[in-house]
Amino acid sequence: MNEYMYGTLAGQYGKVDTAEEYLLKTIKMEPLFVDAHHNLGLAYYKQGRIDEAVKCWRKTLELAPNYAEAYYNLSIFMMALGRTDDAIKLLDVCTQYEPFHLKARYALGTIAKKSGQNKEAIKHFRAYQNKDKGDPRVLIALGELYLLEGQEDASLKEFESAARIDDKNGKVQYQLGVAYHKRGLLDHAIINYKRASELLPNNVDPYINLGDIYASRGEYASALASYNTALSIDPTNAYASRRAKQAENRLLEQ
């Protein structure tokens, strides 16, 4: 129907008033048009008319109980209300009907990760990757989760994949530095820590870890410079302060 297509496209381009007008016309002509009810809910949601949006999505599910996207949209509403448990239930139903619903899997993985349910989070992010293997957010999340679970090789693989897609992500560069540092690949670690420090100039961790590498090599001037840079960012950092003093003492001994 022309009214439906026009209303849907208008909503996608942010013209929500036009979307509302044409989707209402569609529903008036075809009251059981499921997608029209759903998309009208999206238009209302973008207008801040949340109650009306929820009503549309409930109508969508009344007409089509297996409409996965409506469960996802309702879950976002529940999360906005702080009702995380209710949101999870809706997201679970969403993935029952559409196992590789990307937004639902990402939401479930994120919720589980925040609550420390690492294995559950990994399950959802891996399900996400069954459909999309190239999302840097998911690669980073899995890299962090595998690291927490002690799966260092799996973690490194995810971070390396993320870096190939987005080499300007400071978080990825830092985690690669950590991974190489742990393996004793110090030249690689230095490259990634330096890159991380450029991308995350207000983060002390890359500078502290650079300082530790230089100190382990007996390069105390470089170590002191790194620790002092960290202290210029965070003067209260006790570890950087202690290590800077140690590096300074070693320099005086030479």
Query: Does residue 240 form part of some domain?
Result: yes
The percent of residues above 90 in pLDDT, for the chain, comes to: 91
Query: Does residue 254 form part of some domain?
Result: yes
Structurally, the chain folds into a number of domains equal to 1
Structural domain boundaries, residue 191: 167-254
Average pLDDT of every residue of the chain: 95
Mean pLDDT over 10-16 rounds to: 90
Query: Does residue 176 form part of some domain?
Result: yes
DSSP the chain: -HHHHHHHHHHHTT-HHHHHHHHHHHHHH-TT-HHHHHHHHHHHHHTT-HHHHHHHHHHHHHH-TT-HHHHHHHHHHHHHTT-HHHHHHHHHHHHHHSTT-HHHHHHHHHHHHHTT-HHHHHHHHHHHHTT-S--HHHHHHHHHHHHHTT-HHHHHHHHHHHHHH-TT-HHHHHHHHHHHHHTT-HHHHHHHHHHHHHH-TT-SHHHHHHHHHHHHTT-HHHHHHHHHHHHHH-TT-HHHHHHHHHHHHHHHH-
Query: Does residue 106 form part of some domain?
Result: no
Query: Does residue 75 form part of some domain?
Result: no
Query: Does residue 220 form part of some domain?
Result: yes
Query: Does residue 9 form part of some domain?
Result: no
Instruction: Specify the CATH number for the domain of residue 174.
Output: 1.25.40.10
What's residue 6's pLDDT?
82
Least confident of 19-23, 94-98, 138-142: 19-23
pLDDT greater than 70 at residue 161: yes
pLDDT in tens, 106-117: 999 999 999 999
What's residue 1's pLDDT?
60
Query: Does residue 35 form part of some domain?
Result: no
